Structure 1
Amino acid sequence: MEALGYILETQEIELPGGDATSDQHDAYDQWSVDDMKVRCYMLASMSNELQKQHENMKSSREILKNLRKLYGNNSRTAQYEILKELFRARMQEGIEVAAYMQKMIRLIQQLDKLEFQMDVDLVLWSLPDSFSGFIVNFHMNKLSCSLFELLNMLVTAQNAMNNKRKDKEFILVAGTSSNKTGKKKKKSKKGSVPQQLVGVTKKKGKAKIVF
């Protein structure tokens, strides 16, 4: 295996041209064989998921380049932790959308620094069902905006929903109060004595006037 180390440490040998010497062709053929061995060793040491990601790559150097990109000190570990937090993020009903959006923006900006591009779809996906109308309108109107513009739009939408909810609650409370008042009036009418019969008592079927 040590004899194959040059495959990853030295410059890749390119396919010889038509005017190449036999030694150049032999060197390329040997490099191709060794590169295939290294590629097989690398794939054999990977998990099934990583194998699927790299099995179509033509050379061991291409696999190594992608692995460095995935697991480099400044990228992969940080990306994994940020993405895990982002994909687990789900805004709970009742919390302030401004605070939630600030958290999402902070995480996505961290990914941008790692040259990992994200857009607003992840934020929209994580919103609760109460924002379904906003999401439908966003896609129907084919809106394009920055994360900070989306923040302002979501705050406006949440304020509108809160005001609408308060109006409904006010109407419901007002309606309930009216119903209670109506029932009290009906109850008092049922137990009241007509004004013209005040002072009149019944005695064995005959009216008796009380002076």
Structure 2
Amino acid sequence: MSFNPLSIILQQNRLTGPNYIDWKRNLDIVLTAESYKFVLTEQCPDAPTGESTQEEIEYHRKWVKADEMARCYILASMSNVLQHQHQDLPTAYDIMNNLKELFGHQDRASRQEAMRKIMTATMQEGTPVRDHILKMMAYLNEIQILGGEIDGETQIDMILQTLPRSFEQFLLNYNMNKRVYSLAELLTELQEAEGLFRHNAQIHYAENGSTSKPKGKKKKK
């Protein structure tokens, strides 16, 4: 494994046990950036035979190489004791599965806490919608990293329930038109809606607020 800046993330946060959640979060970042994360969710394809297509041969080669790199990243970022315990396991998936058995209780507690934050979150009027949605996306990503599964449509519904009354028209349009958004698309649409609210508020102030004359004091006779 060649040295690169990403490996520093793991070297500075080596897995010792109690820091399993933080280590796993950093590992997720590194494996995603290096395009190796798929080996943790996709099974190793069968070894090529004389009847295998070129595409099948290439995919098998790609999977084996990615697994080798992911396994190196994982082992290199462990304490010496944990490294010794896991170095004979054949795949990155096997290593992560064994770590889950050892430290999975941390996953459950942290996942429940992230879920609690989502269920109790409420965007305050005047808060930039971008900041709020990014915070919600971070909670959802945390749940995913910790092994929770929430489908895309449910994620959108959960976020929409946290919006203040100023977004009621947006919610009405969303439901009536049966819109389907990704998280990124939802963020864009909400920012556009927020800009429209502000624009209309400025027009309302210009038409009504500026025309109202301050009341002067009556002169005494």
Is the radius of gyration larger for structure 1 or structure 2? 1
Using the size of structure 1 for normalisation, the TM-score is 0.49
Using CA pairs below 8 Å that are at least 6 residues apart, which structure has the higher relative contact order? 2
